[in-house]
Amino acid sequence: MNALAELMGLAFACGASDFGGPLSPTEEALLAKAAPVSARAASRTRRAIREGYDPLGDAFLKLRTPFERRALGAFYTGPPIARSMLSWALGRDPARLVDPGCGSGRFSVAALLQRPHLEIVAVDLDPVATLLTRAALAAVKARQARVIQGDYLTVDLPRIAGRTAFVGNPPYVRHHDLSLKTKAYAAQLAQNAGYHLSALAGLHALFYLATLAKHSSAGDVGSFVTSSEWLDVGYGSIIRQMFVNGLGGRSLLVFDAESIPFSDVMTTAAITTFRIGDELLRIRVGRAVSARRRVKLEAHGRAIERAALGAYRRWSPLLRETFSEISGDTIGTMFRVSRGQVTGANAFFTLTREEAQRIGVSRFCIPLVSSANEVFEAKGLLRDGPQRTLGLEIPRELDIARYPALAHYVRVGEASGVHRGYIASRRRPWYSLTFPRPPIVATYMARQAPVFARNPDSLGLLNVAHGLYPRAPLPENVLDAIVSRLNATRAAFVGRGRTYHGGLEKFEPGEMEALPLAGCNEPAS
């Protein structure tokens, strides 16, 4: 039996067609294909929902792989986090709860188990999710519930006289997967509200924006849990702007990297609380060790002045207990940091020395830094050697027809479709690239602080590490001193990047430029 049809049959048997208002045509089409299920299975499912479990959501997570759910950003919230957020929100005595990106309705049902008469509006783009939410609401006999299968960014929510609480886990969808139409709509929404929106902002940032700029009124409250990357990255700046100016941010709680806030995605998590229009003098910022225990929001960390918080470009350092304001020089004051070369087809553009010699293209190759491990093992100094991987460099203006062996290798690449790859197809010509040769190389993603190494042999750099380029000429001995001192103080850089599940930390170029460089501009004695 088809698993989706069986799940839809269970939702239908639980009452999905009778709760939450009119079905959308897409929902109706799904229910029309529902497979019959036993009355016993339906009764068992309804009982589990009333006892606070989410059997429909659990079945959905098994039905779709994490890869399949990633397109819609469907990563479900664990019960302790959901209960913590609802405890805070319901304590503000709302007349209505809006559940944006409702999934299987975990927040909505948990709220109704505490407040049976609470008005509920649940919104999700995925019709499977909204049908599961309808079934769960039917199981708890929701008295005032509306389920909308639609886009939270554009849907119209009716105004009410009382307070609305917006509580949920906005979908985590990167900007690459958002349509141009969605981006244009969000940019206009931000502009109308007086904010700047980066084109790189993900869907979770747009949910914050829509909540403030379209759906809420002064005095409404909210609590969202999302990936915590918006604390530091440039495209998360709109959330930081809104949090201190308009959204009415009250508290920020970030879980330690070792916690597991979402069961099937490697990311950290941040919970915010806000009250639209508030202008608190101080906002509470703190950390939680475990996502498996219920926490009391607005009770952790320390109070930071709202004006000061708004002035920081990155917020992760504020979570360190030993935080002190970074002053003086940073890497960015002396260096420009950028990524290594993305080839789009390493199998074509990287070769061993033996391969390059056999093919006849050695004269067009340079030695590379092709692995972050090479930097970790370099002890501060990268050197060329016979075992180094080579990179094929073909200048744009080169007439490859004059070099038969090279022209033949390019034709071999085209025959295998290399030129049709996403990266290669955007180069003109597709085979033309050069590798950067930075004087200093730095790792940017690991479960430890970045490691720095000098590159006196001008090795080319793949996108396995960052390159540091002096903004003004620096003597060799100064470069040596900078690398030595950066490596000596690298432990202090932990926590200043973007931390993912399990302690994996990533430094984007801008984040690496923000690392302190005090005392590194003089030669070692």
At residue 3 the predicted structure's pLDDT band, cuts being 50, 70 and 90, is: confident
Top-ranked range on mean pLDDT: pick from 48-52, 57-61, 319-323: 48-52
Q: What is the pLDDT of residue 180?
A: 93
CA distances from 69 to 41, 48, 216, 264 (A): 26, 24, 28, 10
Q: Pull the structure tokens for residue 234.
A: 């440039």
Q: What is the pLDDT of residue 80?
A: 86
**What pLDDT digit, counting tens, does each position of 147-198 carry?**
999 999 999 999 999 999 999 999 888 888 899 999 999 999 999 999 999 9
- What single string gives the DSSP state of each residue in 287-309? EES-SSS---TTSSSEEEEHHHH
497 by DSSP, 3-state: which?
Answer: coil
**Out of 30-44, 171-185, 453-467, 498-512, least confident range:** 498-512
Over residues 491-509, the mean pLDDT reads 81
Q: Which of 375, 372, 344, 359 is nearest to 407 (CA)?
A: 359
At residue 514 the predicted structure's pLDDT band, cuts being 50, 70 and 90, is: confident
Q: Which one is predicted more confidently, 71 or 277?
A: 277
Q: Which one is predicted more confidently, 79 or 5?
A: 5
**What pLDDT digit, counting tens, does each position of 22-54 carry?**
999 999 999 999 999 999 999 999 999 999 999
Q: What is the pLDDT of residue 112?
A: 96
Q: Pull the structure tokens for residue 220.
A: 């409404």
Instruction: For residue 28, give the amino acid letter.
Output: E
**What pLDDT digit, counting tens, does each position of 226-235 carry?**
988 899 888 8
In angstroms, rounded to a whole number, what is the distance separating the alpha carbons of residues 228 and 323? Answer: 18
Q: What is the pLDDT of residue 164?
A: 98
Residue 272 has pLDDT above 70, yes or no: yes
Q: What is the pLDDT of residue 327?
A: 40
**What pLDDT digit, counting tens, does each position of 412-423 carry?**
999 999 999 999
Residue 293 has pLDDT above 80, yes or no: no
In the chain, the domains with their CATH numbers are: 3-319 (3.40.50.12420), 331-396+433-513 (3.90.220)
Q: Which of 58, 56, 61 is nearest to 74 (CA)?
A: 61
Over residues 361-380, the mean pLDDT reads 96
- What single string gives the DSSP state of each residue in 9-40? HHHHHHTGGGSSSSPPHHHHHHHHTPPP--HH
Q: What is the pLDDT of residue 106?
A: 93
Beta-carbon contacts of 519 under 8 Å, excluding residues fewer than 6 positions away, are 485
- Other Cβ atoms closer than 10 A to 18: 12
Q: Which one is predicted more confidently, 323 or 447?
A: 447
- What single string gives the DSSP state of each residue in 233-267? SGGGHHHHHHHHTTS-EEEEEEE-TTS-SBTTS--
Average pLDDT, the chain: 89
**What pLDDT digit, counting tens, does each position of 130-150 carry?**
999 999 999 999 989 999 999
